[in-house]
Amino acid sequence: MAMSALTLAIAWLLLPFLAAFSAALLPRLARPLALVCVLTTLAWGVWASLPGRQVLFELIGSLGVQLQLDAVAAPFLLLNALVVLAVLVDSWRQPPPGPFLLLLMVLLGGLNSAFLATDLVSLYVALEVVGITAFLLILQSREPRQLWIALRYLLVGNGVMTLFLIGTGLLYLYTGSFRLQSLQELPSGSATLAVGLALVMLGLLTKAGVFLSGLWLPQTHAEAPAQVSALLSGVVVAGGICPLLRLALLLPAQQPVFTWVGLASVLLGLVYALADGDLKRLLAWSTLSQMGFALLNPAAGGLFVLGHGVAKGALFLVAGKVPSRDLSVWGRQPLAPALGLPLLVGALSIAGAPPLLGYYTKASLETLPPTGIPGLPVHVLVWLLPLLMVGTAAVYARLCWLPLGAGWQVPAPGGLLLALVLLLVGLVGPLLPGGSPFPSTAALGKGLAVLAAGAGVEALRRGLARPVTALGFRRRLRLPSLESLVDLLGALAVVGAGLQLLLLRLQPLSAELLAVEAACLG
C-alpha cells in the first residue's frame, strides 16, 4: 500500500512536467492536460488534508531527495490547485499569447515540489524552477516596463537563492546532511551556523515576500499581467512560506525571530497599503503584510495562507478587468456584479468577515501558543493581533465602498469561482468532520467589531483626506519610496545581517566565541 502510494505520488509530481513537454509538441492538448494536472493536485491536496495521512519519500537512499506529503503541505497543495484552476478557467476561451499554458503547468509542478521538499537542495531546485517560470510568465508582452520588472525579479530572486545555496553549504559543514530535520540537532552558539541559518532564512523570506526582503513584491505584482499577478500573489509567495513554516515547526526555539519579522512585515505592508492609490499595488502591499501574519503562528499559518491566497487570486483576477485601477476615483463608477461580487467577497474574506473562509483562518491564527516570546509577552500579543487585523480591515474597507451596477455577463469566471470557494467552504467547513467548530457568539462579536473598527478607520481617512490635502500635508506625509533596485538589494543585506544578529543573540554564546570576541576587543 505504502509503495503504491509512493509510486502514484511520484507520478503525480512528474505529471505537470511531462504534460508541459507534451503540450509543447501538441499544442491542442495543452488545455485538457493542464486541467488534468490541476485536478490531480486538488485530489492529492484533499487526500493529504485528511487526518493521519503522511507519506515520506526518500529517493535514491538516505542522502538523496527527500519529500514529505503531510498536513503541512496539504493546504498549500489545495491553494495551488485552486488558484491555477481559476487562472485556467479565466483563460480557457482565449489563452494569453506565448506558451502560457505550458508555463502554467511547469509552475504548478515546481510549486508542488517546493511544498513537499524537506531537504534544502531539492528546495533550492524547486524554488529556482518556480522563479524562472514566474519570470517567463511576467514577460508575456515584451514591453520595456515588463522587461525591467522581470529582470528585477530575476536579479533579486537569483541573488538571494545564491545566498541560500551558500547557507546550505555552511550548514552541511556542521550537519553532514541537507535535511531540514538535521537542523534540529545543531550545536548552538557557533557563528558559522548562525550565518548559514540566516542565509537560508533570508532566501525563503525573500521568496515569500516578507518584510524588507519582500520589497520587490509590490511593483512586480502590480505590473505583471492580471492572471500572472493572481498566480504570483496567490500561490507563488506560498512557495517560500511553506518551507518557512516547516522550519519554524522544527525549530521552536527560533520562533521569536519569525514572530518579530512577521510583525514587522505586517506593519510595513499595512502602512504602505493604506497610503497607496493604485488598486493592484494596494493588493500587493497587503500580500506583504498577510505573509507576515502567517509567520506568527506556524501551526495555523498554512491554513491562513490558503484563505488569503484564494481571496487574493480572486481580487487580482478581477483587478485586471475593472475600468480604472486608480483608487481616487474608486466607487464613482458602478461595477458589474460579475466583477463586483468576487471583489467584495475576496476583500471581506481577507478582512475576516464571518461566514467566509477568511474568518476561520484568521480565528485559527489567533490561537497563539500560551507562552509569549522574549521581549514580547503574550498579553501584549493578544492585544496587538486584533489591532493589526483592524488595520487589514481598514485596507479592504477602501475597496468595499463600491456601487454595483447591472449586467450579468461573466468576463472573469475565475474570480467568481474562487469567491464561490470562499463562501462555500466558509459555510460548509464547520459541518465537516474535523473542521473548525461554529464560532461562539463572543467570537463572532469580536470578528464583527474588528470589521466595524476597520470601516471606522476608513471613514476617518476619507474625512481627513480633504483637510490634509488642503493644508499641504500630503506632500510632507508621503512615505519614502523603497522600491529602486538598490533598495531591494540593500534590503537583502539589511535583513540578512539582522537575522544573523537575532539568531546569535538567541543562542547562548559559546566559550570559543567569547574568546574570539575578547581577542578582538583587547
Partner 1 sequence: MPDPFRLLEALVLLTALVGFLGLIWRRNLFLRALALDVMGTGAVALFVLVAARSGLRTPILDRNELIRAASPDLSWADPIPQAVILTAIVIGLSIQALLLVTIARLSRLDPLLETSSFERLLLESSVPASSGRRS
The residue ranges that bind partner 1 (CB under 8 A) are 63, 121, 124-125, 128, 132, 135, 139, 142, 144-145, 147-151, 154-155, 158-159, 162-163, 165-166, 169-170, 172-173, 178, 219, 222-223, 276-278, 281, 323-329, 483-486, 489-490, 493
Per-residue burial over 178-188, b = 16 or more CB atoms within 10 Å of its CB, e = otherwise: bbbebbeebee
Minimum distance from residue 422 beta carbon to partner 1 (Å)? 27
Minimum distance from residue 282 beta carbon to partner 1 (Å)? 10
Which residues have CB under 8 Å from 224's CB, separation 6+?
137, 138, 146, 149, 232
Of 252 and 405, the one with the shorter C-beta distance to partner 1 is 405
Cβ-defined contacts of 447-452 (< 8 Å, 24+): 447/352, 447/353, 447/354, 447/359, 447/362, 447/363, 448/354, 450/351, 450/352, 450/386, 450/389, 450/390, 450/393, 451/351, 451/352, 451/353, 451/393
Minimum distance from residue 193 beta carbon to partner 1 (Å)? 13
Q: How many CB atoms are located within 10 Å of the residue 77 CB? A: 26
Minimum distance from residue 349 beta carbon to partner 1 (Å)? 25
Of 35 and 489, the one with the shorter C-beta distance to partner 1 is 489
- 407 secondary structure, DSSP code: -
Q: What is the spatial distance between Cα 92 and Cα 216, in angstroms, rounded to a whole number? A: 30
Specify which residues 404 forms β-bridges with.
335
Minimum distance from residue 131 beta carbon to partner 1 (Å)? 8
Minimum distance from residue 114 beta carbon to partner 1 (Å)? 14
Minimum distance from residue 154 beta carbon to partner 1 (Å)? 6
Of 167 and 358, the one with the shorter C-beta distance to partner 1 is 167
Of 135 and 260, the one with the shorter C-beta distance to partner 1 is 135
Q: Are 189 and 508 in contact (CB under 8 A)?
A: yes
Minimum distance from residue 48 beta carbon to partner 1 (Å)? 27
Which residue in the block uniquely carries the three cell numbers 517546493?
Answer: 114
Q: Are 260 and 240 in contact (CB under 8 A)?
A: no
Q: Is 487 exposed, middle or buried (0-12, 13-18, 19+ CB in 10 A)?
A: middle
Residues, the chain? 522
Of 286 and 349, the one with the shorter C-beta distance to partner 1 is 286
Of 39 and 464, the one with the shorter C-beta distance to partner 1 is 464
Which residue in the block uniquely carries the three cell numbers 518556480?
Answer: 130
Of 54 and 333, the one with the shorter C-beta distance to partner 1 is 333
Give whole-number Cα distances, 60 to 183, 203, 477, in Å.
21, 26, 58
Of 299 and 327, the one with the shorter C-beta distance to partner 1 is 327
